[in-house]
Structure 1
Amino acid sequence: MNGYNVAILGATGAVGSRLIDQLAQSTIPVKNLKLLASKRSAGKILQFKGESLTVEQTTVDSFKNIDLVLASAGGEVSKKFLPIAVEAGAVCVDNTSAFRMDPDVPLVIPEVNRNALKKHHGIIANPNCSTIQMVLALAPIRQKFGLKQVIVSTYQAISGAGQAAWQELLDQTKQHLYDKPMTAKITPVKGAAKHYPQAFNLLPQIDVFEKDGYTHEEWKMIHETKKILLDDMDSPDIKVTATCVRVPVEIGHGESIYLVTADKTATVSDLHTLLATAPGIIVQDEPAKQLYPQPLTATGKRETFVGRIRLDEENPGAFNIWVVADNLLKGAAWNTVEIAECLVADDLM
């Protein structure tokens, strides 16, 4: 094929702009690119490889002659339009939670479960940003030493909550520095009964609370991990639990991960060697030189960074690791485009 007709759904958002950039740098031969968004964003002019493109309002007719859709416009938008796009003949890679738990939709991190793409029926789901970087680090450990349990605490950047929440954090920071009351209308969840400032604050709530007291973000990390690694969102073979916290950082999620291997002979040196040679991972772990992953240094990078690898001295086979990644790139735009690259390379379009 000489090239593909590609549509980006949600082109004007924080992830959408990065989808455009990552697509421009990808190996995908793009014949034509259509930028789609809501009615209020239609008419905006964006750049793709030096060409000015006008954003169009998304309608049921937007996907005629489109081969590939990269979507990041919110779950309800994806639920409405992606089945229409598939019916029109497109393959869709979706960066929302709309289809992640659908048993007929592959949930894919290319470095971990690329083969799952062979089972797609027109839609492939991009995992949650916090899940991607964690599973990318866990997968090689599990393959080599087995994995029995995972306990993760996240430190998630405000950009994961969207551009409006990001701007609210910046506004609150200015308000606080000028000794003015901080106004909160979005965080932790826009539709919640109460809102709290994110600036200079930690919010142990990302998404809504479920009946069991976990937030939906925590639920996603638990069940997405099982689906990706075990092809079963409810598998008991790996115990997973999560606490997700929003922090006043612009870009870059941090995760403190406690893991228990099945093979108790695993050592810190083993994990260092294993992760240093794993695709998509860069190990930054030199305590004597104060070298460890940080959101500021991970921003703008496609890789996932791992450090602070250490043994739990009181529990053989158990380790602590610290994982950081740009949530808008590997956690969203780059993983989405990387999936599309694999679809093209593996002749799955």
Structure 2
Amino acid sequence: MGKDSFVVAVVGATGAVGREMLKTLEARKFPVSKIVPLASSRSAGSEVEFNGEKVIVQELTEDSFEGIDLALFSAGGAVSEEYAPLAARSGCVVVDNSSTWRMDDQCPLVVPEVNPDDLDWHKGIIANPNCSTIQMVVPLKPIHDAAKITRIVVSTYQAVAGGGQKAMDEMTTQVRQMFNFDLESIEPKVMPYRIAFNCLPQIDVFLENDYTKEEMKMVHETHKIFGDDSFGVSPTAVRVPVYIGHSESVNIETEKKMTAAECRALLSQAPGVRVLDNPAEKIYPMPIEAVDEDDTFVGRIREDNTVENGLNMWICADNLRKGAALNAVQIAEELVKRDLVRVP
């Protein structure tokens, strides 16, 4: 028999995603009996707000997880690698937002609208996928189930919030410098080049195959989430001067013919998807409309006339929300629903 409420820790509670996790837990009325915000020694002692009350942030230590039922991690890969196994060993179930555990065979990689059943075999650590992967697989999974996808080509237009608060601050500074015609003072530190009024076709480091780490995450994670690696995924990930909200241009080929109208009708019924698609009225998704929204927005659905069974679409989502915090909280909700908030 499951518990009615849970002691929940948020690791990295003072970061952009950590704060969004606290907001999302509160907004969705997750059954929290006690919230425990955790962060590095630099942030310990500061305050965050939860359910209208100020809560003091505690320093993350090896003993932080005694008595914790569930921990949402968003403090970077090094922290997750060190502390997630400690949390699991103490009986706490971890939902981790870093890339550390995503491709570990012992850890489910879950988008609740797509593969919730994978939670049944968790061993204490559940991985939250990459933001760009999440918003792509939510609308593509119903299409794959109906018509079997054989190839995906995706170009991302990713907001600077994906690089953290420092990246957002850097863009703000650069915009001010440019409006003041102070170009000589622009000195990129977080991004490889100036991001203000620019696009950077590099997110994370380049690998030996000349794809970036971000791009290969989309390949491997999509295959793992779908439980199917029979189709190719060809990604190009680009950072654009948008604060919050990732966009993606997605081209797919399918085994079975699906018309644009059939796709539109299918996605209109899909969980977590909102179709905005009326070009005649200039209705289509934009990142500014996706901010603070739970859904993944899909539009510009049209047939690719260069191949027999091809479709194009445009996808937008809030990368801090559905791309990180919301998906983690939805995983937590699914764990509660299935009585899985326990470490086997």
TM bucket, shorter chain:
over 0.9
1:40-55 to 2 correspondences below 5 Å = 40-55=42-57
Q: Which runs of 5+ in 1 are unaligned?
A: 188-194
Any idea what the Cα deviations from partners look like across 1:45-83, whole Å, max 9, x if unmatched? 111001110011100011110000000000110010010
1:284 aligns with 2:281: no
1:218 aligns with 2:222: no
What is the percentage of aligned positions where both structures have the same residue? 49
Matches of 1:166 and 1:302 in 2, distance apart? 21
Matches of 2:325 and 2:236 in 1, distance apart? 24
Aligned to 2:137, the other structure's residue is in SS state: helix
RMSD value, Cα = 0.8
- Does the CA-based 8 Å contact 1:28-1:344 persist in structure 2? no
Show structure 1 runs of 4+ deviating over 3 A.
Answer: none
1:209 — aligned with what? 206
- Does the CA-based 8 Å contact 1:27-1:341 persist in structure 2? no
1:247-326 to 2 correspondences below 5 Å = 247-264=240-257, 266-326=258-318
Matches of 2:83 and 2:327 in 1, distance apart? 21
Please tell me the residue identity of whatever aligns with 2:121.
K
1:191 — aligned with what? none
| Deviation for aligned residue 1:25 | 1.9
1:186 — aligned with what? 190
- Does the CA-based 8 Å contact 1:251-1:327 persist in structure 2? yes
1:83-232 to 2 correspondences below 5 Å = 83-181=85-183, 182-187=186-191, 195-230=192-227
TM-score, structure 2 as length reference: 0.97
Any idea what the Cα deviations from partners look like across 1:135-158, whole Å, max 9, x if unmatched? 011100000011100000000000
1:236-255 to 2 correspondences below 5 Å = 237-255=230-248
| Deviation for aligned residue 1:314 | 2.4
Matches of 1:87 and 1:28 in 2, distance apart? 24
Any idea what the Cα deviations from partners look like across 1:163-214, whole Å, max 9, x if unmatched? 0011000000000010002221110xxxxxxx31100110000001100100
1:339 aligns with 2:331: yes
Any idea what the Cα deviations from partners look like across 1:240-262, whole Å, max 9, x if unmatched? 11000000000000000000011
Aligned to 2:141, the other structure's residue is in SS state: helix
Matches of 2:305 and 2:54 in 1, distance apart? 58
| Deviation for aligned residue 1:27 | 4.3
| Deviation for aligned residue 1:2 | 3.6
- How many pairs align? 337
Please tell me the residue identity of whatever aligns with 1:171.
T
Please tell me the residue identity of whatever aligns with 2:134.
I
| Deviation for aligned residue 1:28 | 2.6
Matches of 2:338 and 2:142 in 1, distance apart? 22
Any idea what the Cα deviations from partners look like across 1:116-152, whole Å, max 9, x if unmatched? 0001000100000000000011100000011100000
- Does the CA-based 8 Å contact 1:26-1:341 persist in structure 2? no
Matches of 1:88 and 1:320 in 2, distance apart? 47
Aligned to 1:23, the other structure's residue is in SS state: helix
Q: Which runs of 5+ in 2 are unaligned?
A: none
Please tell me the residue identity of whatever aligns with 1:186.
V
Matches of 1:29 and 1:229 in 2, distance apart? 30
Aligned to 1:8, the other structure's residue is in SS state: strand
Matches of 1:202 and 1:38 in 2, distance apart? 33
Please tell me the residue identity of whatever aligns with 1:133.
Q
Please tell me the residue identity of whatever aligns with 1:204.
P
